[in-house]
Amino acid sequence: MKILVCISKTPDTTAKIAFTDNNTKFNEAGVTYIINPYDEWYALVRALELKEKLGGTVHLVTVGGADTEPIIRKALALGGDEAFRINGDSQDSFYIASQIAEHAKNEQYDIIFTGKETIDYNGSSIGGLVAGLLDLPFVSIAAKFELDGNQATVNREIEGGEEICTVQLPVVVSCQKGMAEARIPNMRGIMAARTKPLKVVEPVAVENLTEVVSFELPPAKAGVKMINPDNVEELVKLLHDEAKVI
């Protein structure tokens, strides 16, 4: 069993969001970066559970500069066996997916796991693009993944219920809450991660199909209005005229 987990670097959820260069770049001053939670808590941990149960190896891949290496080392500390950093610098989903797919072509993975989305861009596009570029089946926003031989059973949450899919390996799956329980690296894992292979690979030539023109913060929240519970007419008027929810 050979599994690839796609890892992204994202700002910590407590980071203060601000932009520079005329609102075209994220201001990284004072920002702490973490492994994208969907990649770590669900994709990576489920891959490690499968390895522990069935044997095999778990590889990690990220697209980014040297500043992503501490994030990859943490993923290795959790139990990944080997990591690859594709030395590219782009936020274009097609570019990133193309680099991952090019790497995966040479490694013959049985399963490729991604998080359902990153918590900064929320694009939810990498898994589907990788699957398309590799001509593999894709199951999105999976909450459960079980394996019986060469066949996977994948549970997905859908509007009003649950969908259960079966698919033959190899497969690409994007993972969400429910796939696994978060883990914390222990001291043994942290020490071992220092000597595990982290290979830097130069990117293939791929054209960016999108670019960020500008960022915009949401409008500041208005102050809270207190309404007497007996004054239903005023509440309805505010919901209709100001909140515009009815």
CA neighbours closer than 13 Å in the CB half-sphere of residue 184: 2
Give the model's pLDDT for residue 96: 96
Give the model's pLDDT for residue 44: 96
pLDDT tens string 34-89: 999 999 999 999 999 999 999 999 999 999 999 999 999 999 999 999 999 999 98
pLDDT higher than 90, residue 114: yes
Contact 101, 130 (CB under 8 A): yes
Q: Which residue has the higher pLDDT, 19 or 132?
A: 132
Q: Give the ranges where the chain is alpha helix by DSSP (H).
A: 37, 45-54, 69-78, 93-105, 126-134, 187-193, 232-241
Give the model's pLDDT for residue 126: 95
Question: Reduced to 3 states, what is the DSSP secondary structure of residue 49?
Answer: helix
Q: For the residues 201-221, what does the mean pLDDT come to?
A: 88
Give the model's pLDDT for residue 25: 84
Contact 172, 47 (CB under 8 A): no
Rounded CA gap, 50 and 91, in Å? 30
pLDDT higher than 80, residue 222: no
Picking from 144, 135, 191, the residue whose alpha carbon sits closest to that of residue 165 is 144
Contact 35, 8 (CB under 8 A): yes
What percent of the chain has a predicted confidence (pLDDT) above 90? 62
Angstrom CA distances, 74 to 29, 37, 61, stand at 22, 12, 13
Indicate the domain borders of the chain.
2-218
Enter the tokens of residue 206: 């791929």
Q: Which residue has the higher pLDDT, 114 or 185?
A: 114
Q: Which residue has the higher pLDDT, 199 or 242?
A: 199
Average pLDDT, the chain: 91
pLDDT higher than 90, residue 216: no
CATH superfamily of 2-218: HUPs (3.40.50.620)
